[in-house]
Amino acid sequence: MSPETEKLAIATKILAFAGSARKDSFNKKLVKIAAQGAKAAGAEVTYLDFRDLPLPLYDQDLEAAEGLPENARKLKALMKGHQGFLIACPEYNSSITPLLKNAIDWASRPEPDEPPLACFKQKVAVLMSASPGALGGLRGLIHVRSILGNIGVLVLPDQKAISNASQAFDENGNLRERAQQEAILELGSKLATVTAKLNNGLVTTT
């Protein structure tokens, strides 16, 4: 990393989370590796475990009667306070998990005097997945990418799916294959540097 890029990445805040509540989730392990890569690039990383912010299933009648649940407000505050998202996405029946979709749905609900989709617009994300299956959760990433792109998130093309996840991680939560470990670290680094450049106006388009 160049000194210029390193200096820019220092100010970047990244929120890392997995769309799984399971204690020993492969995707929680995966996103923590990516978080290491973002930290090494100079970003400030916050790890979010959705177990710590339980949410009811989205219900518009509940929202109308009681407003946003406290944990939904906490989630929205976290998302608005970070410029980038590292997201590890388990695959359920070839698609997004209910947990992740529900979190996105609650975060998309506006509070008074808040612009639409304030948690998502002008944010940058990188996606990854791990699955015991042969495709590594790749089919689910397609759906997550589509959802996020449609609500204003810039989802970088870089992604990685780890197959045979039950054998992929060692006892310390790292990937056994060095090439896979480096690829996930690089996802975190890429998000940190691209997000920093975008927020500092150094990325131009033609």
DSSP assignment letter at 153: -
Residue 12, both tokens: 């970047």
What's the one-letter identity of residue 159?
Q
Nearest by Cα to 189 from 45, 61, 67: 45
CB 198 within 8 A of CB 204: no
Domains delineated in the chain:
3-199 (3.40.50.360)
Q: What is the mean pLDDT of the chain?
A: 93
Give strand ranges (E) for 89-194: 124-130, 154-162
Pair of tokens at residue 165? 């996840």
DSSP state of 92: B
**Residue with token string 């509540």:** 21
Q: 98: exposed, middle or buried (C-beta count within 10 Å: 0-12, 13-18, 19+)?
A: exposed
Q: What is the pLDDT of residues 114-149, one digit of tens each?
A: 999 999 999 999 999 999 999 999 999 999 999 999
Report the alpha-carbon distance of residue 187 to residue 45 in Å, rounded. Answer: 14
Instruction: Tell me the per-residue pLDDT of 77-113, one tens digit each, with 9 for 90 and over.
Output: 999 999 999 999 999 999 999 999 999 999 999 999 9
Is the model's pLDDT at 164 over the cut of 90? yes
Entry pTM: 0.92
List pLDDT tens digits, range 7-20.
544 569 999 999 99
User: Could you read off the pLDDT of 36-47 as tens digits, one per residue?
Assistant: 999 999 999 999
Length of the chain: 206
User: And the tokens for 114?
Assistant: 């808040």
Phi, psi of 161 (to 5 degrees): -120, 125
Residues 143-156, mean pLDDT to the nearest whole number: 98
In the sheet that holds 13-18, the strands lie side by side as 44-48, 13-18, 84-88, 124-130, 154-162
- Selected residue with higher pLDDT from 56 and 199: 56
**Percent of the chain scoring above 90 in pLDDT:** 90
